[in-house]
Chains A and B, each alone.
Chain A
Amino acid sequence: MGGMDLVSGRGVEVTIGSAVFKNPVFLASGPAGYGLEYETVIDLAVLGGVVAKTITYKPLVGNRGARLRETPSGLLNSIGLENVGCEAFLSEKLPAMVERGMRPIVSIGAEGWEDYERLLERLSGTEGFDAVEINLSCPNVDIGGMAVGRDPELVEKYVRRASEVLGGKCILAKLTPNVEDIVPLALSAEGAGADGIVAVNTIVGMDIDVRNRKLVFDRVTAGLSGPAILPVALAAVWKIARSVEIPVVGVGGISSVDDALKFFMAGAAAVEVGTAIFYDPELPVRIIERLEKDGIPERLSG
Protein backbone atom coordinates (compact mmCIF):
# COMPACT_ATOMS: atom_id res chain seq x y z
CA MET A 1 0.00 0.00 0.00
CA GLY A 2 2.60 2.57 -1.02
CA GLY A 3 1.91 6.11 -2.08
CA MET A 4 2.03 5.13 -5.71
CA ASP A 5 -0.71 2.53 -5.42
CA LEU A 6 -2.81 4.37 -7.91
CA VAL A 7 -6.30 3.21 -7.15
CA SER A 8 -7.72 6.02 -9.24
CA GLY A 9 -4.70 6.68 -11.38
CA ARG A 10 -3.75 9.71 -9.32
CA GLY A 11 -0.36 10.29 -7.77
CA VAL A 12 -0.27 11.73 -4.32
CA GLU A 13 3.39 12.67 -3.97
CA VAL A 14 4.24 16.05 -2.59
CA THR A 15 7.42 18.01 -3.11
CA ILE A 16 8.66 20.39 -0.44
CA GLY A 17 11.95 22.05 -1.26
CA SER A 18 14.36 19.34 -2.33
CA ALA A 19 12.36 16.52 -0.79
CA VAL A 20 9.74 14.40 -2.51
CA PHE A 21 7.39 12.60 -0.16
CA LYS A 22 5.39 9.66 -1.48
CA ASN A 23 2.21 11.04 0.05
CA PRO A 24 1.27 14.16 1.99
CA VAL A 25 0.33 12.49 5.28
CA PHE A 26 2.94 12.71 8.02
CA LEU A 27 3.03 11.78 11.64
CA ALA A 28 3.38 14.90 13.81
CA SER A 29 6.26 15.27 16.21
CA GLY A 30 5.69 14.20 19.77
CA PRO A 31 2.87 11.75 20.37
CA ALA A 32 4.44 8.78 18.62
CA GLY A 33 7.98 9.28 19.91
CA TYR A 34 10.46 8.02 17.37
CA GLY A 35 7.81 5.92 15.66
CA LEU A 36 9.52 2.78 16.86
CA GLU A 37 7.22 2.40 19.84
CA TYR A 38 4.28 2.09 17.43
CA GLU A 39 6.07 -0.49 15.33
CA THR A 40 3.71 -3.40 15.87
CA VAL A 41 0.60 -1.23 16.05
CA ILE A 42 0.70 0.51 12.68
CA ASP A 43 2.96 0.35 9.65
CA LEU A 44 4.53 3.79 9.65
CA ALA A 45 6.39 2.99 6.43
CA VAL A 46 3.23 3.75 4.45
CA LEU A 47 3.21 7.37 5.65
CA GLY A 48 4.74 10.13 3.60
CA GLY A 49 6.89 11.08 6.57
CA VAL A 50 7.37 10.49 10.27
CA VAL A 51 8.39 13.60 12.19
CA ALA A 52 10.41 12.24 15.09
CA LYS A 53 10.16 13.58 18.61
CA THR A 54 12.06 16.85 18.86
CA ILE A 55 15.71 16.29 19.67
CA THR A 56 18.06 18.68 21.38
CA TYR A 57 21.86 18.57 21.43
CA LYS A 58 21.94 16.91 24.83
CA PRO A 59 19.30 14.54 26.22
CA LEU A 60 16.50 16.22 28.17
CA VAL A 61 14.62 14.53 31.01
CA GLY A 62 11.52 16.64 30.49
CA ASN A 63 9.20 18.15 33.04
CA ARG A 64 8.36 16.90 36.49
CA GLY A 65 4.81 16.88 37.67
CA ALA A 66 1.72 15.81 35.77
CA ARG A 67 2.31 15.73 32.04
CA LEU A 68 -1.13 14.91 30.68
CA ARG A 69 -4.66 16.16 31.25
CA GLU A 70 -7.69 15.52 29.11
CA THR A 71 -10.04 18.35 28.24
CA PRO A 72 -13.25 18.22 26.19
CA SER A 73 -12.05 16.87 22.82
CA GLY A 74 -8.55 17.86 23.74
CA LEU A 75 -5.39 16.98 25.57
CA LEU A 76 -3.09 19.24 27.55
CA ASN A 77 0.51 18.09 27.69
CA SER A 78 3.56 19.26 29.53
CA ILE A 79 6.16 16.72 28.45
CA GLY A 80 8.88 19.35 28.18
CA LEU A 81 10.84 18.01 25.20
CA GLU A 82 12.05 14.86 26.92
CA ASN A 83 14.36 13.27 24.36
CA VAL A 84 17.38 11.04 24.00
CA GLY A 85 19.65 13.77 22.64
CA CYS A 86 21.16 14.00 19.17
CA GLU A 87 23.92 11.41 19.63
CA ALA A 88 21.57 8.61 20.68
CA PHE A 89 19.07 9.75 18.09
CA LEU A 90 21.59 9.59 15.27
CA SER A 91 23.22 6.34 16.36
CA GLU A 92 20.12 4.40 17.48
CA LYS A 93 16.74 5.90 16.68
CA LEU A 94 17.30 7.29 13.20
CA PRO A 95 18.90 4.13 11.74
CA ALA A 96 16.10 2.05 13.30
CA MET A 97 13.48 4.31 11.70
CA VAL A 98 15.15 4.02 8.31
CA GLU A 99 15.56 0.27 8.67
CA ARG A 100 11.83 -0.05 9.23
CA GLY A 101 11.08 1.83 6.05
CA MET A 102 10.00 5.09 7.67
CA ARG A 103 10.74 8.38 5.98
CA PRO A 104 12.15 10.37 8.91
CA ILE A 105 11.75 14.09 9.29
CA VAL A 106 14.09 15.19 12.05
CA SER A 107 12.53 17.66 14.48
CA ILE A 108 15.09 19.90 16.13
CA GLY A 109 14.88 22.13 19.17
CA ALA A 110 17.34 23.92 21.38
CA GLU A 111 17.86 25.52 24.75
CA GLY A 112 19.29 28.69 23.31
CA TRP A 113 21.40 29.75 20.36
CA GLU A 114 24.69 28.00 21.21
CA ASP A 115 22.87 24.76 21.79
CA TYR A 116 21.12 25.21 18.46
CA GLU A 117 24.34 25.83 16.56
CA ARG A 118 25.98 22.79 18.09
CA LEU A 119 23.00 20.66 17.06
CA LEU A 120 23.05 21.98 13.51
CA GLU A 121 26.79 21.35 13.25
CA ARG A 122 26.28 17.79 14.46
CA LEU A 123 23.52 17.21 11.92
CA SER A 124 25.29 18.74 8.95
CA GLY A 125 26.59 16.16 6.55
CA THR A 126 24.77 13.40 8.43
CA GLU A 127 23.06 10.82 6.24
CA GLY A 128 19.78 9.07 6.83
CA PHE A 129 17.39 11.99 6.51
CA ASP A 130 16.72 14.75 4.03
CA ALA A 131 14.20 16.85 5.91
CA VAL A 132 14.18 18.71 9.21
CA GLU A 133 11.40 20.45 11.09
CA ILE A 134 12.57 23.28 13.32
CA ASN A 135 10.48 23.30 16.48
CA LEU A 136 10.08 27.02 17.03
CA SER A 137 6.97 26.53 19.05
CA CYS A 138 7.13 24.18 22.05
CA PRO A 139 5.22 25.94 24.85
CA ASN A 140 6.55 23.67 27.59
CA VAL A 141 10.15 24.80 28.00
CA ASP A 142 11.63 28.02 29.39
CA ILE A 143 14.41 28.51 26.88
CA GLY A 144 14.06 28.01 23.14
CA GLY A 145 10.79 26.65 21.80
CA MET A 146 7.96 29.13 21.76
CA ALA A 147 10.09 31.80 23.46
CA VAL A 148 12.03 31.99 20.20
CA GLY A 149 9.16 31.23 17.89
CA ARG A 150 7.01 34.19 18.90
CA ASP A 151 9.55 36.70 17.64
CA PRO A 152 9.71 37.08 13.84
CA GLU A 153 13.33 38.25 14.04
CA LEU A 154 14.41 35.21 16.03
CA VAL A 155 12.46 32.94 13.69
CA GLU A 156 14.38 34.49 10.83
CA LYS A 157 17.71 34.00 12.63
CA TYR A 158 17.05 30.35 13.52
CA VAL A 159 15.70 29.38 10.12
CA ARG A 160 18.50 31.15 8.25
CA ARG A 161 21.16 29.35 10.24
CA ALA A 162 19.53 25.98 9.54
CA SER A 163 19.36 26.78 5.82
CA GLU A 164 23.04 27.72 5.83
CA VAL A 165 24.29 24.74 7.79
CA LEU A 166 21.95 22.09 6.43
CA GLY A 167 21.98 23.35 2.85
CA GLY A 168 20.37 20.90 0.50
CA LYS A 169 18.02 19.41 3.06
CA CYS A 170 14.34 20.31 3.19
CA ILE A 171 13.84 22.85 6.00
CA LEU A 172 10.40 23.06 7.62
CA ALA A 173 9.59 25.67 10.27
CA LYS A 174 6.96 24.67 12.82
CA LEU A 175 5.21 27.73 14.16
CA THR A 176 3.26 28.57 17.28
CA PRO A 177 -0.34 29.79 17.19
CA ASN A 178 0.23 31.63 20.48
CA VAL A 179 0.68 35.02 18.83
CA GLU A 180 -1.59 37.83 17.72
CA ASP A 181 -0.82 37.09 14.08
CA ILE A 182 1.01 34.02 12.82
CA VAL A 183 1.55 35.41 9.30
CA PRO A 184 4.63 37.54 10.15
CA LEU A 185 6.28 34.43 11.60
CA ALA A 186 5.60 32.52 8.40
CA LEU A 187 6.93 35.38 6.26
CA SER A 188 10.09 35.51 8.38
CA ALA A 189 10.64 31.79 7.97
CA GLU A 190 10.06 31.99 4.25
CA GLY A 191 12.40 34.94 3.88
CA ALA A 192 15.10 33.08 5.79
CA GLY A 193 15.04 30.16 3.41
CA ALA A 194 12.48 27.74 4.84
CA ASP A 195 11.15 25.28 2.28
CA GLY A 196 7.85 24.85 4.07
CA ILE A 197 5.79 26.10 7.01
CA VAL A 198 4.26 23.70 9.54
CA ALA A 199 1.27 25.16 11.35
CA VAL A 200 0.48 24.80 14.19
CA ASN A 201 2.05 23.59 17.42
CA THR A 202 -0.07 23.35 20.58
CA ILE A 203 -2.06 26.20 22.07
CA VAL A 204 -1.23 27.42 25.56
CA GLY A 205 -3.77 26.30 28.11
CA MET A 206 -4.05 25.23 31.72
CA ASP A 207 -6.27 23.36 34.10
CA ILE A 208 -7.08 23.45 37.80
CA ASP A 209 -7.83 20.55 40.10
CA VAL A 210 -10.86 22.03 41.82
CA ARG A 211 -11.24 19.42 44.55
CA ASN A 212 -7.67 19.85 45.72
CA ARG A 213 -7.46 23.57 44.91
CA LYS A 214 -4.30 22.86 42.98
CA LEU A 215 -2.76 23.64 39.62
CA VAL A 216 -2.62 20.55 37.44
CA PHE A 217 0.77 21.37 35.91
CA ASP A 218 3.95 22.34 37.74
CA ARG A 219 4.70 24.85 34.98
CA VAL A 220 1.15 26.25 35.34
CA THR A 221 0.43 26.21 31.61
CA ALA A 222 0.69 23.39 29.09
CA GLY A 223 0.05 22.80 25.39
CA LEU A 224 -3.42 21.95 24.10
CA SER A 225 -3.79 19.54 21.19
CA GLY A 226 -6.57 17.37 19.82
CA PRO A 227 -9.82 18.03 17.95
CA ALA A 228 -10.55 21.11 20.06
CA ILE A 229 -7.81 23.08 18.29
CA LEU A 230 -8.65 22.18 14.70
CA PRO A 231 -10.49 25.41 13.87
CA VAL A 232 -7.55 27.45 15.16
CA ALA A 233 -5.06 25.45 13.12
CA LEU A 234 -7.25 25.61 10.05
CA ALA A 235 -7.50 29.39 10.22
CA ALA A 236 -3.73 29.64 10.63
CA VAL A 237 -3.13 27.46 7.59
CA TRP A 238 -5.67 29.44 5.56
CA LYS A 239 -3.98 32.73 6.38
CA ILE A 240 -0.43 31.48 5.90
CA ALA A 241 -1.22 29.75 2.61
CA ARG A 242 -2.44 33.08 1.27
CA SER A 243 0.69 34.90 2.40
CA VAL A 244 3.63 32.70 1.45
CA GLU A 245 4.76 30.98 -1.74
CA ILE A 246 6.22 27.89 -0.07
CA PRO A 247 4.15 24.82 0.88
CA VAL A 248 2.25 24.75 4.16
CA VAL A 249 1.89 21.60 6.23
CA GLY A 250 -1.30 21.63 8.27
CA VAL A 251 -1.37 20.13 11.74
CA GLY A 252 -3.71 20.47 14.67
CA GLY A 253 -6.63 18.35 15.73
CA ILE A 254 -7.07 16.12 12.71
CA SER A 255 -9.40 13.42 13.94
CA SER A 256 -11.04 12.10 10.78
CA VAL A 257 -10.43 11.84 7.05
CA ASP A 258 -12.66 14.86 6.47
CA ASP A 259 -10.61 16.89 8.94
CA ALA A 260 -7.53 16.20 6.82
CA LEU A 261 -9.37 17.19 3.65
CA LYS A 262 -10.27 20.52 5.25
CA PHE A 263 -6.59 21.37 5.60
CA PHE A 264 -5.95 20.67 1.93
CA MET A 265 -8.94 22.84 1.01
CA ALA A 266 -7.56 25.58 3.25
CA GLY A 267 -4.35 25.51 1.26
CA ALA A 268 -2.11 22.92 2.90
CA ALA A 269 0.18 20.84 0.72
CA ALA A 270 0.47 18.14 3.37
CA VAL A 271 -0.92 17.30 6.80
CA GLU A 272 0.40 15.87 10.02
CA VAL A 273 -1.59 13.67 12.39
CA GLY A 274 -0.62 13.93 16.05
CA THR A 275 -2.86 13.37 19.03
CA ALA A 276 -5.31 11.20 17.06
CA ILE A 277 -2.64 8.51 16.91
CA PHE A 278 -3.43 7.85 20.59
CA TYR A 279 -7.06 6.91 20.06
CA ASP A 280 -7.22 6.06 16.37
CA PRO A 281 -3.81 4.80 15.22
CA GLU A 282 -5.18 3.74 11.85
CA LEU A 283 -6.36 7.24 10.90
CA PRO A 284 -3.27 8.25 8.85
CA VAL A 285 -3.65 5.15 6.70
CA ARG A 286 -7.33 5.90 6.08
CA ILE A 287 -6.43 9.44 5.04
CA ILE A 288 -3.83 8.12 2.58
CA GLU A 289 -6.31 5.62 1.15
CA ARG A 290 -8.85 8.37 0.59
CA LEU A 291 -6.32 10.63 -1.10
CA GLU A 292 -5.19 7.79 -3.35
CA LYS A 293 -8.78 7.07 -4.26
CA ASP A 294 -10.11 10.58 -4.78
CA GLY A 295 -6.98 12.65 -5.21
CA ILE A 296 -5.82 15.57 -3.12
CA PRO A 297 -8.58 18.16 -2.77
CA GLU A 298 -7.96 21.45 -4.50
CA ARG A 299 -7.67 24.49 -2.31
CA LEU A 300 -10.65 26.76 -2.08
CA SER A 301 -10.41 30.19 -3.57
CA GLY A 302 -10.91 33.22 -1.38
Chain B
Amino acid sequence: MSSAGRGIFLTEILDNRALYPDTHVISIKRPAGFPDTEPGGFISIRAVENTTPLLLRPFSIMWQDDEHIEILVKVVGPGSEALSKKRTKEPVKILGPLGGRTFPAPSQRPVILIAGGTGIAPIAYAIKKWSAAGVSNAVLIYGAASSVGIARDILDEVVIESHYATLDGSLGFEGDAVELFKSLALDNSLPEGDIYSCGPRGMVRALCDAVAGLGGMYKGRFAHHYTSLEAVMACGLGACRGCTVPLKGDGESALKTVCSDGPVFDAEEIDWEGWTW
Protein backbone atom coordinates (compact mmCIF):
# COMPACT_ATOMS: atom_id res chain seq x y z
CA MET B 1 0.00 0.00 0.00
CA SER B 2 1.37 3.40 -0.90
CA SER B 3 1.91 6.10 1.69
CA ALA B 4 0.27 8.72 -0.56
CA GLY B 5 -2.39 10.58 1.36
CA ARG B 6 -1.24 9.14 4.68
CA GLY B 7 -1.48 11.64 7.47
CA ILE B 8 -2.77 12.60 10.86
CA PHE B 9 -6.46 13.46 10.77
CA LEU B 10 -8.75 15.04 13.33
CA THR B 11 -12.14 13.40 12.97
CA GLU B 12 -14.96 12.18 15.21
CA ILE B 13 -16.65 9.08 16.52
CA LEU B 14 -19.85 8.31 14.65
CA ASP B 15 -20.93 5.30 16.64
CA ASN B 16 -19.67 2.99 19.37
CA ARG B 17 -21.58 -0.19 19.94
CA ALA B 18 -20.69 -3.04 22.27
CA LEU B 19 -20.78 -6.31 20.35
CA TYR B 20 -20.34 -8.04 23.65
CA PRO B 21 -19.17 -6.64 26.98
CA ASP B 22 -15.46 -6.22 26.23
CA THR B 23 -15.56 -5.77 22.47
CA HIS B 24 -16.78 -2.72 20.61
CA VAL B 25 -17.36 -1.81 16.99
CA ILE B 26 -16.28 1.80 16.69
CA SER B 27 -17.29 3.74 13.64
CA ILE B 28 -15.20 6.80 12.85
CA LYS B 29 -16.06 9.52 10.38
CA ARG B 30 -13.82 9.06 7.35
CA PRO B 31 -11.92 12.35 7.08
CA ALA B 32 -11.75 14.23 3.80
CA GLY B 33 -8.68 13.10 1.93
CA PHE B 34 -8.35 9.79 3.76
CA PRO B 35 -7.33 7.36 1.01
CA ASP B 36 -8.96 4.07 0.06
CA THR B 37 -7.45 1.05 1.78
CA GLU B 38 -7.11 -2.67 1.26
CA PRO B 39 -7.88 -5.41 3.81
CA GLY B 40 -4.95 -5.63 6.21
CA GLY B 41 -4.51 -1.86 6.23
CA PHE B 42 -4.76 -0.23 9.62
CA ILE B 43 -4.97 3.05 11.48
CA SER B 44 -3.55 4.25 14.78
CA ILE B 45 -5.67 6.18 17.21
CA ARG B 46 -4.85 8.45 20.10
CA ALA B 47 -7.03 7.06 22.85
CA VAL B 48 -6.41 9.75 25.49
CA GLU B 49 -5.50 13.42 25.59
CA ASN B 50 -2.86 12.98 28.28
CA THR B 51 0.27 10.86 28.09
CA THR B 52 -0.75 7.65 29.85
CA PRO B 53 -0.93 5.55 27.84
CA LEU B 54 1.57 7.34 25.68
CA LEU B 55 1.34 5.78 22.26
CA LEU B 56 -1.32 5.60 19.61
CA ARG B 57 -3.11 2.29 19.35
CA PRO B 58 -3.13 0.39 16.04
CA PHE B 59 -6.32 -1.27 14.74
CA SER B 60 -7.05 -3.15 11.55
CA ILE B 61 -9.64 -1.46 9.40
CA MET B 62 -12.75 -3.64 9.57
CA TRP B 63 -14.74 -1.67 7.06
CA GLN B 64 -14.38 1.52 5.11
CA ASP B 65 -16.71 3.35 2.79
CA ASP B 66 -17.17 6.98 1.76
CA GLU B 67 -18.39 8.04 5.20
CA HIS B 68 -17.04 5.49 7.68
CA ILE B 69 -13.97 3.76 8.96
CA GLU B 70 -14.81 0.90 11.30
CA ILE B 71 -12.56 -0.83 13.78
CA LEU B 72 -13.01 -3.62 16.31
CA VAL B 73 -11.78 -2.76 19.79
CA LYS B 74 -11.33 -5.42 22.43
CA VAL B 75 -10.55 -4.05 25.88
CA VAL B 76 -7.14 -5.41 26.84
CA GLY B 77 -5.54 -2.42 28.58
CA PRO B 78 -5.89 1.28 29.33
CA GLY B 79 -5.72 2.41 25.70
CA SER B 80 -8.44 0.14 24.41
CA GLU B 81 -10.46 0.79 27.54
CA ALA B 82 -10.40 4.54 26.93
CA LEU B 83 -11.38 3.98 23.33
CA SER B 84 -14.25 1.70 24.32
CA LYS B 85 -15.73 4.61 26.28
CA LYS B 86 -15.70 7.11 23.43
CA ARG B 87 -19.09 8.52 22.59
CA THR B 88 -20.69 9.62 19.37
CA LYS B 89 -19.38 13.00 18.18
CA GLU B 90 -16.30 12.85 20.39
CA PRO B 91 -13.28 14.15 18.47
CA VAL B 92 -10.51 11.68 17.79
CA LYS B 93 -7.13 11.84 16.08
CA ILE B 94 -6.15 9.07 13.73
CA LEU B 95 -2.95 8.35 11.84
CA GLY B 96 -3.31 6.43 8.64
CA PRO B 97 -3.79 4.60 6.50
CA LEU B 98 -0.90 2.43 7.67
CA GLY B 99 0.65 -0.79 6.50
CA GLY B 100 3.17 -1.50 3.78
CA ARG B 101 1.74 -4.82 2.67
CA THR B 102 -1.92 -5.74 2.80
CA PHE B 103 -3.76 -8.93 1.82
CA PRO B 104 -3.36 -9.54 -1.92
CA ALA B 105 -6.65 -9.43 -3.81
CA PRO B 106 -7.71 -12.99 -4.59
CA SER B 107 -6.91 -14.41 -8.00
CA GLN B 108 -9.07 -17.11 -9.55
CA ARG B 109 -8.11 -19.49 -6.76
CA PRO B 110 -10.53 -19.88 -3.90
CA VAL B 111 -9.62 -18.27 -0.58
CA ILE B 112 -9.96 -19.84 2.84
CA LEU B 113 -10.32 -17.08 5.42
CA ILE B 114 -9.44 -18.09 8.97
CA ALA B 115 -10.08 -15.77 11.90
CA GLY B 116 -9.65 -16.12 15.63
CA GLY B 117 -11.33 -13.71 18.03
CA THR B 118 -10.85 -10.05 17.08
CA GLY B 119 -8.71 -11.29 14.18
CA ILE B 120 -12.02 -11.21 12.36
CA ALA B 121 -11.55 -7.46 11.72
CA PRO B 122 -9.35 -7.51 8.58
CA ILE B 123 -10.95 -10.79 7.50
CA ALA B 124 -14.42 -9.21 7.65
CA TYR B 125 -13.12 -6.30 5.59
CA ALA B 126 -11.77 -8.73 3.02
CA ILE B 127 -15.02 -10.66 2.85
CA LYS B 128 -17.19 -7.58 2.45
CA LYS B 129 -14.91 -5.78 0.03
CA TRP B 130 -14.22 -8.76 -2.17
CA SER B 131 -17.81 -9.96 -2.16
CA ALA B 132 -18.80 -6.55 -3.45
CA ALA B 133 -16.14 -6.98 -6.14
CA GLY B 134 -17.68 -10.28 -7.23
CA VAL B 135 -15.34 -12.74 -5.53
CA SER B 136 -17.55 -15.67 -4.60
CA ASN B 137 -15.28 -18.64 -4.04
CA ALA B 138 -14.41 -17.94 -0.42
CA VAL B 139 -14.85 -19.99 2.74
CA LEU B 140 -14.72 -18.58 6.28
CA ILE B 141 -13.51 -20.46 9.34
CA TYR B 142 -14.06 -18.40 12.46
CA GLY B 143 -13.21 -19.40 16.00
CA ALA B 144 -13.79 -17.85 19.41
CA ALA B 145 -14.06 -18.91 23.03
CA SER B 146 -17.84 -19.16 22.87
CA SER B 147 -20.79 -18.21 20.71
CA VAL B 148 -20.78 -14.78 22.36
CA GLY B 149 -17.46 -14.07 20.68
CA ILE B 150 -18.65 -14.97 17.20
CA ALA B 151 -19.68 -11.64 15.74
CA ARG B 152 -21.73 -12.85 12.83
CA ASP B 153 -23.56 -9.58 12.40
CA ILE B 154 -20.44 -7.62 11.43
CA LEU B 155 -20.52 -9.46 8.14
CA ASP B 156 -23.90 -7.84 7.50
CA GLU B 157 -25.77 -9.39 4.65
CA VAL B 158 -22.74 -10.90 2.97
CA VAL B 159 -23.17 -14.64 2.84
CA ILE B 160 -20.24 -16.93 2.23
CA GLU B 161 -19.75 -20.50 3.29
CA SER B 162 -18.98 -20.18 7.00
CA HIS B 163 -17.80 -22.62 9.63
CA TYR B 164 -17.69 -21.69 13.30
CA ALA B 165 -15.62 -23.13 16.10
CA THR B 166 -16.09 -22.43 19.80
CA LEU B 167 -13.97 -23.77 22.62
CA ASP B 168 -17.06 -24.47 24.71
CA GLY B 169 -19.02 -25.95 21.82
CA SER B 170 -21.79 -23.36 22.19
CA LEU B 171 -21.78 -22.74 18.44
CA GLY B 172 -20.60 -24.97 15.64
CA PHE B 173 -17.52 -27.15 16.03
CA GLU B 174 -16.27 -27.73 19.57
CA GLY B 175 -12.61 -26.75 19.55
CA ASP B 176 -10.51 -24.03 17.99
CA ALA B 177 -10.35 -22.67 14.48
CA VAL B 178 -7.22 -24.64 13.61
CA GLU B 179 -8.73 -27.95 14.68
CA LEU B 180 -11.80 -27.11 12.62
CA PHE B 181 -9.59 -26.28 9.63
CA LYS B 182 -7.80 -29.63 9.92
CA SER B 183 -11.02 -31.52 10.21
CA LEU B 184 -12.53 -29.78 7.18
CA ALA B 185 -9.37 -30.24 5.13
CA LEU B 186 -9.16 -33.95 5.88
CA ASP B 187 -12.87 -34.24 5.08
CA ASN B 188 -12.22 -32.75 1.66
CA SER B 189 -14.65 -30.00 2.59
CA LEU B 190 -12.28 -27.19 1.67
CA PRO B 191 -11.42 -26.09 -1.86
CA GLU B 192 -7.83 -26.05 -3.06
CA GLY B 193 -6.87 -22.44 -2.50
CA ASP B 194 -4.97 -19.82 -0.52
CA ILE B 195 -5.26 -19.16 3.20
CA TYR B 196 -5.80 -15.66 4.60
CA SER B 197 -5.57 -15.60 8.38
CA CYS B 198 -5.65 -13.28 11.35
CA GLY B 199 -5.79 -14.19 14.99
CA PRO B 200 -3.73 -14.78 18.10
CA ARG B 201 -0.12 -15.64 17.38
CA GLY B 202 -0.55 -19.15 18.76
CA MET B 203 -3.42 -19.77 16.38
CA VAL B 204 -1.53 -18.66 13.29
CA ARG B 205 1.52 -20.66 14.27
CA ALA B 206 -0.63 -23.75 14.87
CA LEU B 207 -2.24 -23.16 11.51
CA CYS B 208 1.18 -23.16 9.83
CA ASP B 209 1.97 -26.44 11.59
CA ALA B 210 -1.38 -27.87 10.53
CA VAL B 211 -0.86 -26.95 6.88
CA ALA B 212 2.68 -28.36 6.97
CA GLY B 213 1.39 -31.51 8.62
CA LEU B 214 -1.11 -32.24 5.86
CA GLY B 215 0.56 -35.04 3.95
CA GLY B 216 -0.31 -37.35 1.11
CA MET B 217 -3.05 -36.20 -1.21
CA TYR B 218 -3.55 -33.00 0.79
CA LYS B 219 -0.02 -31.76 0.30
CA GLY B 220 0.24 -28.51 -1.62
CA ARG B 221 -3.48 -27.81 -1.55
CA PHE B 222 -3.00 -24.57 0.30
CA ALA B 223 -0.13 -23.05 -1.62
CA HIS B 224 -0.07 -19.64 0.04
CA HIS B 225 -0.81 -18.57 3.56
CA TYR B 226 -1.02 -14.85 4.16
CA THR B 227 -1.46 -13.64 7.71
CA SER B 228 -1.95 -10.22 9.25
CA LEU B 229 0.16 -9.76 12.38
CA GLU B 230 -0.28 -7.68 15.49
CA ALA B 231 2.48 -5.97 17.48
CA VAL B 232 3.17 -3.19 19.94
CA MET B 233 4.06 -0.20 17.77
CA ALA B 234 5.32 3.31 18.36
CA CYS B 235 5.41 5.16 15.02
CA GLY B 236 3.43 2.82 12.77
CA LEU B 237 5.46 4.10 9.83
CA GLY B 238 8.64 2.01 9.80
CA ALA B 239 10.68 4.86 11.25
CA CYS B 240 11.36 3.80 14.83
CA ARG B 241 12.08 0.10 14.14
CA GLY B 242 10.23 -0.92 17.29
CA CYS B 243 7.81 -3.64 16.11
CA THR B 244 10.02 -6.40 14.80
CA VAL B 245 9.11 -9.86 13.58
CA PRO B 246 11.83 -12.37 12.64
CA LEU B 247 11.62 -13.97 9.21
CA LYS B 248 13.43 -17.19 8.40
CA GLY B 249 16.77 -16.57 6.76
CA ASP B 250 19.93 -18.44 5.87
CA GLY B 251 21.54 -17.84 9.23
CA GLU B 252 20.04 -15.71 11.93
CA SER B 253 16.53 -14.66 11.07
CA ALA B 254 16.02 -11.23 9.52
CA LEU B 255 14.10 -8.67 11.52
CA LYS B 256 11.25 -6.93 9.71
CA THR B 257 8.83 -4.36 11.03
CA VAL B 258 5.20 -5.40 11.41
CA CYS B 259 3.95 -1.87 10.66
CA SER B 260 5.72 -1.14 7.39
CA ASP B 261 6.98 -4.46 6.03
CA GLY B 262 3.57 -5.94 6.96
CA PRO B 263 1.24 -6.25 8.71
CA VAL B 264 0.57 -9.00 6.16
CA PHE B 265 3.33 -11.58 5.82
CA ASP B 266 3.71 -14.99 4.24
CA ALA B 267 3.03 -17.08 7.32
CA GLU B 268 5.48 -19.76 6.23
CA GLU B 269 8.31 -17.23 6.26
CA ILE B 270 7.87 -16.27 9.90
CA ASP B 271 10.49 -17.65 12.26
CA TRP B 272 7.95 -18.68 14.90
CA GLU B 273 10.56 -20.46 16.99
CA GLY B 274 12.77 -17.39 17.07
CA TRP B 275 9.93 -14.98 17.78
CA THR B 276 10.29 -14.99 21.53
CA TRP B 277 8.96 -11.49 22.16
Question: Which A residues are closer than 8 A to B by beta carbons?
Answer: 30-34, 37-42, 53, 61-62, 64-70, 72-75, 77, 79, 82, 218, 226-227, 255, 275, 277-282
Contact = CB atoms under 8 A, between A and B. Distances in A.
B53 interface: yes
A64 B245 CA distance: 9
A72 B55 CA distance: 11
Contacts of A41: 6-8, 95, 237
A202 to B, nearest CB: 13
Interface of B: 3-8, 46, 50-56, 95, 232-235, 237-244, 246, 254-255, 260, 274, 276-277
Nearest to A217: B277
Nearest to B10: A282
16 contacts: A31-B240, A33-B237, A33-B239, A33-B241, A39-B3, A42-B8, A61-B255, A64-B255, A67-B242, A68-B232, A69-B232, A73-B54, A75-B55, A77-B240, A79-B242, A278-B55
A62 to B, nearest CB: 6
Given A73-B54, A226-B54, A67 B241 contact: yes
A65 B276 contact: yes
Interface centre among B7, B243, B277 (most CB of A within 10 A): B277
A278 to B, nearest CB: 5
A75 B241 contact: no
A79 B233 CA distance: 12
Nearest to A82: B241
A30 B234 CA distance: 12
B52 A68 contact: no
Contacts of A31: 234-235, 239-240
B235 A32 contact: yes
B83 to A, nearest CB: 14
Contacts of A40: 3-7
B240 A255 contact: no
A70 B243 contact: no
Contacts of B235: 31-33, 37-38, 277-278
Contacts of B241: 33, 62, 67, 79, 82
Contacts of B52: 72-73
Q: Describe A's contact surface by its main secondary structure.
A: loop
Interface centre among B46, B234, B238, B255 (most CB of A within 10 A): B234
Interface centre among B237, B240, B243 (most CB of A within 10 A): B240
Contacts of B8: 41-42, 281-282
B260 A70 contact: no
Given A37-B237, A40-B5, A77-B242, 10 more contacts: A31-B235, A32-B239, A37-B260, A41-B6, A64-B277, A67-B243, A70-B54, A70-B232, A218-B277, A255-B51
Contacts of A34: 239
A66 B95 CA distance: 23
A32 B86 CA distance: 29
A113 B59 CA distance: 44
B270 to A, nearest CB: 14
A278 B56 contact: yes
Contact of A70 (B5, B46, B53): B53
Contacts of A75: 54-55, 234
Contact of A279 (B51, B239, B260, B277): B51
5 tightest A-B contacts by CB? A33-B239, A37-B239, A66-B277, A68-B242, A37-B237
Given A31-B235, A70-B55, A75-B234, A65 B240 contact: no
A34 to B, nearest CB: 8
Contacts of A66: 232, 277
Nearest to A278: B234
Contacts of A282: 8
B63 to A, nearest CB: 23
A78 to B, nearest CB: 9
Contacts of B232: 66, 68-70
B240 A278 contact: yes
A53 B237 CA distance: 14
Contacts of B54: 70, 73-75, 226-227, 275, 278-279
A73 B234 contact: no
Contacts of B6: 40-41
Nearest to A30: B240
Contacts of A38: 235, 237, 239
A68 B234 contact: yes
Contacts of B242: 67-68, 77, 79
Nearest to A42: B8
A205 B150 CA distance: 41
Contacts of A255: 51
Contacts of B244: 62, 64, 67
B7 A33 contact: no
A277 B6 CA distance: 15
Contacts of B277: 64-67, 218
A16 to B, nearest CB: 25
Contacts of A53: 239
A42 B237 CA distance: 12
B51 A73 contact: yes
Interface centre among A69, A82, A218 (most CB of B within 10 A): A82
Contact of B46 (A72, A218, A279): A279
